[in-house]
Amino acid sequence: MSEENNINNEGGLLIVSEDACKAVIDRTSAFSAVENVFAAMSHGDAYNFPVIREAIGYADALYGFKSGFDRAGKTLGLKSGGYWPGNAAKGLTNHQSTIFLFDPDNGKLRALVGGNYLTAVRTAAASAVSIAHLARKDSKVLGMVGAGHQSTFQLRAALEQRSFEKVVAWNKNKERLKNLQAVAEELGVPFEAVEREQLCAEADVIITITSAFEPLLMKEWIKPGTHLACMGTDTKGKQEVDADLMSAATVFTDEVAQSISLGETQHAIASGTIKEEAIITIGDVINGKHAGRTSDDEITIFDGTGVGLQDLAIASVAVKLAVEKGEAQHISL
C-alpha cells in the first residue's frame, strides 16, 4: 500500500465485524489494495514476517499467524487463524481468522477486524491481479479446479479480468460444482463440468483452489499460452500441479520465500526442477521491473501463497471505510 490509511480512533480500539467488512469492501477495493501492497513489497517498502502454522492436535485444526509491516502505508499487524476441516458440517466456514492492526508509532492495538470474508476477497483479488497482468488479452475460457468456499470468490473476480466466454470446472466432489455453475449462470457465462485433462485442453486461464496434496494437473496437459493461478497450496506438503510444469513455464509469485517453502513451487525447488532465482514477484511485474508475459505461447504460473501483508492491506482499507460509513464500533481503552 503506497498511501497511508489514517484511522482516527482517538486512542481507542475499533472493531470491524464480518458483516461490516462485507458492507464496505467490494472487489474493486480488494483488487487495488492487493495490487498496491504487491507493488510496495517489490519497492522494499513492505515486508512479511515468517509464517507460523501448526497442527494443534485438536479438532484436526491448523492454526497460525501471518504478519508484516508496510512502512509506506504505516500498517503493522497480523492475521491469526487457520483451518478447521470439520466446520462446514456445523454450518461454519472452515477457514476462521481475525486481523489485528497495531499503531506502528507506539505498538497499541488499533483495530480488530473479521478476517473470513476479507481472506476470501483478498485471495480472489490476488489471482485476479495475476490474470490482469499475466494472462493473454484474448483469453476466452476460464478453468476452475476446486469448488470449495474460496472458489466462487475466485470465479467472480477472475471473470472481471478478461472477456471470458465459457467456464469449465472440475472438483473432486461433483455435487459442489453447482456453486460455481450458479455464479457463472448469474453472470451470463456458459458453464460446463469437465474432467481435468479436458479442462486443460480448453482453458486459457486456470485457477486451482483445492486442498490437494498431489498434482491434479499434469505438465503434458497444459497448452501453450495458458496462465495458471495456483492458489490452494499454502502449507508444506500441499500440491496442485505437476512439479515438472514449472520448468516449462515462467513462474511468478506473491513472495519468493513463501513460494519455495509452503507454496506451489516447494516441490519443484526440492527436486531441483527450478531454481529460486527463476521465480519472479508479481510486484516486479506491476512496477514494470519485469516484462511479465513476453509471448502468446508462454505458459505463466502465479503461485499465490497468501501473504500477511495482503490481509493487513485489505483490513486497513476496511477499517478506514467502516469508520467513514459508520460501520465500525469504537471501544475506549
Q: Which residues are catalytic?
A: 79
Residue 14 is inside which H or E element, if any? strand 13-16
In whole angstroms, give the CA distance from residue 38 to residue 253: 10
Q: Cα–Cα distance between 59 and 78 in angstroms, integer?
A: 23
Q: 103 or 211, CB closer to ligand NAD? A: 211
Q: Which residue is nearest to ligand NAD (CB)?
A: 148
Site for ligand NAD in 224-243 (CB under 6 A): 231-232, 234
- Pick one of 83, 84, 117, 302: the residue that binds ligand NAD (CB under 6 A): 83
Q: Which 129-158 residues touch ligand NAD, going by CB under 6 A?
A: 146-151
Name the minimum Å distance from CB 99 to ligand NAD.
13
Cell triple for 304: 499465490
Q: Which three cell numbers stand for residue 185?
A: 449462470
Show the CA angle centred on residue 45, arms to residues 40 and 51, nearest 5°: 85
Could you tell me if 139 and 113 are in contact, meaning their C-beta atoms sit under 8 angstroms apart? Answer: no
CB of 122 to ligand NAD, least distance (A): 7
Based on the shown chain and the rule CB under 6 A, indicate whether residue 94 belongs to the binding site for ligand NAD: yes
CB of 136 to ligand NAD, least distance (A): 23
Using CB under 6 A as the binding rule, the residues of this chain from 288 to 307 that contact ligand NAD are 304-306
The candidate with the shortest Cα–Cα distance to 147, out of 186, 118, 175, is 175
Alpha helices in 25-82 (DSSP H): 27-43
Interaction between residue 16 and ligand NAD (CB under 6 A): no
Chain residues in the site for ligand NAD (CB under 6 A)? 83, 94-95, 119, 123, 146-151, 171-173, 209-213, 216, 231-232, 234, 304-306
